[in-house]
């Protein structure tokens, strides 16, 4: 009991991080303008980690007897309960209304983990992608690997290409894959460290489905930057992110086969990195059309809070008390 108490206090200590005032002031200005009154309630969640909830994605390749029963006893329930346009029976994620994190499992060489802890909203891009068995799939900015693992819970792609340009994050991605995916299946996965902006030219029209979970200004983690100088630099460079995101999307479109689908996602509330990037793409690429994801949003609206007034091809998950998921922007496009 004492050990569990120590662990709990350690966790609480970790969660009571210091807010970076420079970032908060920047967000105050931008998001009050973009979100209006909604920003106040979103800010209250983002700046108070003790109220954050965590989803538990079960690993179908390493199922533990009794784990689902344990979760149900602890007040967890399935995050996704039809009628979703796409919900493979093998994708199982559990959530609960109360905050707190289920204990994480350590990486052990040669042993698969039974579950992955994540922000449940990060599964929405995977559900929007609708991967089927045998399809060729590209995860263009794949680290740390949660969405790649989730895709493999849903289906067995023909070929699965996970790319991560950053060397350090690429190591993290490889470790995640090793922790969750068994040997025979790992052989079907290609992990590369290519510049995502060049993948489309290197691999034109090779994929049925492409996920672009783009580098973005990660609102949750930026708010707790421990280095004020680094935070200030990040905020100055923030304007350049939308240009990078646009280039990654252009590359993804080249890599996509005609008739294929592309899902774009970020974990920021910033309009410049979300709707503006997608609108620019739709206006400049005649072979791309929006794909409706409003049915999916409607089906999960009990568990997730969405920003009103979005187009049918996009959604933005807003963190709120009791549903602290997000921020997560998702947009879906189709190549003609």
Active-site residue, selected from the candidate residues 93, 162, 267, 285: 267
Q: Domains of the chain by range and CATH?
A: 21-53+122-335 (3.40.50.150)
Per-residue pLDDT of the chain (336 residues; tens, 9 = 90+): 434 444 444 444 444 589 999 999 999 999 999 999 999 999 999 999 999 999 999 999 998 889 999 999 999 999 999 799 999 999 999 999 999 999 999 888 889 999 999 999 999 999 999 999 999 999 999 999 999 999 999 999 999 999 999 999 999 999 999 999 999 899 889 999 999 999 999 999 999 999 999 999 999 999 999 999 999 999 999 999 999 999 999 999 999 999 999 999 999 999 999 999 999 999 999 999 999 999 999 999 999 999 999 999 999 999 999 999 999 999 999 999
Please check if 144 is assigned to a binding site. yes
* Whether 267 is catalytic: yes
What is the DSSP code string of 30-91?
HHHHHHTTHHHHHHHHHT-GGG-B-EEEE-TTSPPTTHHHHHHHTT-EES--S--SS--TT-
- What residues are paired with 12 via a beta bridge? none
Please check if 299 is assigned to a binding site. no
Please check if 143 is assigned to a binding site. yes
Instruction: Tell me the torsion sign for CA atoms 315, 321, 322, 325.
Output: positive
Please check if 200 is assigned to a binding site. no
Please tell me the pTM assigned to this model. Answer: 0.94
């Amino acid at each position: 009991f004492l050990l569990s108490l120590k662990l709990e206090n350690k966790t609480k200590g970790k969660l009571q991080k210091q807010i970076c005032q420079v970032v908060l002031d920047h967000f105050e200005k931008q998001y009050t303008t973009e979100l209006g009154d909604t920003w106040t309630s979103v800010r209250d969640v983002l700046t108070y980690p003790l109220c954050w909830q965590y989803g538990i994605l079960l690993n179908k390749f390493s199922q533990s007897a009794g784990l689902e029963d344990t979760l149900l006893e602890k007040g967890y329930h399935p995050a996704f309960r039809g009628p979703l346009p796409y919900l493979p029976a093998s994708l199982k994620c559990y959530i609960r209304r109360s905050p707190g994190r289920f204990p994480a499992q350590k990486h052990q060489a040669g042993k698969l983990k039974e579950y992955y802890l994540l922000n449940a909203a990060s599964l929405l891009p995977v559900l929007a992608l609708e991967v089927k068995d045998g399809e060729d799939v590209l995860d263009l900015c794949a680290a740390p690997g949660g969405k790649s693992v989730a895709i493999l819970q849903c289906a067995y792609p023909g070929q699965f290409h996970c790319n991560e340009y950053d060397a350090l994050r690429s190591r993290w991605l490889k470790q995640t894959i090793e922790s969750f995916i068994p040997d025979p299946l790992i052989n079907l996965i290609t992990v590369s460290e290519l510049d995502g902006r060049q993948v489309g030219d290197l691999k034109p029209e090779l994929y049925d489905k492409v996920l672009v979970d783009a580098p973005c200004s990660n609102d949750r983690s930026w708010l707790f930057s421990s280095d004020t100088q680094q935070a200030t630099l990040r905020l100055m460079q923030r304007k350049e992110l939308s240009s990078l995101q646009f280039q990654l999307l252009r590359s993804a479109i080249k890599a996509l086969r005609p008739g294929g689908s592309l899902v774009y996602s970020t974990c920021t509330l910033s309009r410049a990195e979300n709707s503006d990037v997608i609108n620019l793409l739709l206006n400049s690429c005649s072979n791309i059309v929006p794909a409706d994801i409003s049915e999916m949003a409607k089906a999960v609206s009990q568990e997730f809070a969405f920003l009103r007034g979005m187009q049918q091809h996009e959604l933005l998950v807003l963190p709120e008390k009791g549903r602290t998921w997000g921020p997560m922007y998702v947009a879906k496009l189709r190549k003609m």
